[in-house]
Structure 1
Amino acid sequence: MLIVFSGLPGTGKTTIAHELARRLNAVYLRIDVIEQAIRDAEVLAGDVGASGYGVANAVALSNLLLGHRVIADGVNPVRESRAAWQAVALAAGVKLVDVQVICSDRQAHQGRVERRTGDIPGLTPPTWHSVMTHEYEAWAQAPLTVDTATLSATEAVETLLAHLGR
């Protein structure tokens, strides 16, 4: 099974995805970590672009083919990144579960973004302005959505476990 978390920074997706991965003993792939490792390697002349997603897709596929559950954690802001995860699940012959994490309370979301500290060395946390101007295309089909304005991270994990039949 491939579980892909999507949503703007500060919605709580990393907290939920990390705990779900721990509870399911799944491989956990965080796009921010992969992208920062690529930056730190200083092998690209420009920005990371889609490279982090490409690496995550390849690592996810190799782990899925070994029979592992994989949880991917990233913004997944565009149709192309979402389609790539669909292709990975199809290639591995596994179920894809898309989870969109939102925070419908704008004030709470802004507060989370503004209080966020850098948990990845070298990566500067986003600003509220950068979150609000971040590209994020609407979904063609509504994914399973978790709203962290109404659920705690623990409640969100329990909800997802119930949805997954655990």
Structure 2
Amino acid sequence: MLIVFSGLPGTGKTTIARALAAKLGAVYLRIDNIEQAIRNAGVLRDEVGRSGYFVANELALSNLGLGQTVIVDCVNPVAESREAWREIASRAGVPLMDIQVICSDQDEHRRRVETRQVGVPGLTPPTWQSVLSHEYEVWDCVPFTVDTANMPADQAVALIRGKLSG
């Protein structure tokens, strides 16, 4: 199975995705880690652009081919990246579960963005303004959505596990 977590920075998707990966024994791919590794390699003249997603797509496909459950942690802001994950699941012959993580309480969301530790050496954390201006297209088909405004991570993981088993 391919499980793709999507949402703006600071919504709680990394906390939930990591906890779910640990519970399921799944492969965990975080776009932030991949993109920072590409930056650290110093091989690109410009920003990483879509390269982190291309790398993650191939890593996911490879691990799915080994029979692993793969959890991807990314913003996944545009239809093009969402379609790429659908294509990866199709090529691997596995189900895809899209999970959108939101925080409907804007004050709480802002607090999280402004106080978060990104946990990726060298990665510059986003500012609240950059989150507000981040491109994030409306989904064609609304995915399973978890609102973390009033839900702790362990409850969100339990909710998702229930959805997976039901």
Q: TM-score range by the shorter chain?
A: over 0.9
1:118 to partner: Cα distance: 3.5
| Counterpart in the other structure of 2:42 | 42
Alignment of 1:1-166 (within 5 A): 1-165=1-165
Unaligned runs of 5+ in 1: none
Q: Alpha-carbon deviation of 1:150? A: 2.5
Give the match's secondary structure for 1:135: coil
Secondary structure in 1 matching 2:125: coil
Partner AA of 2:110 in structure 1: Q
Give CA-to-partner distance per residue, 1:23-75, whole Å, 9 cap, x none.
00000000000000000000111010000000000000000011000000000
Structure 1 runs of 4+ with >2 Å offset: none
Shift of 1:9: 0.0
Q: 1: distance between equivalents of 2:121 and 2:132?
A: 24
SS in 2 for 1:101: strand
- 1:151, distance to aligned residue in structure 2 (A): 1.2
User: Whole-Å Cα distance in 2 between the matches of residues 150 and 89 of structure 1?
Assistant: 31
Unaligned runs of 5+ in 2: none
In 1, Cα distance between equivalents of 2:60 and 2:118: 25
Letter paired with 1:133: S
1:117 Cα offset (Å): 2.2
Q: Which amino acid aligns with 1:15?
A: T
SS in 2 for 1:5: strand
Matching residue's letter, 2:90: L
Identity across aligned pairs (percent)?
63
Matches of 1:150 and 1:138 in 2, distance apart?
23
**Deviation (angstroms), 1:116:** 1.0
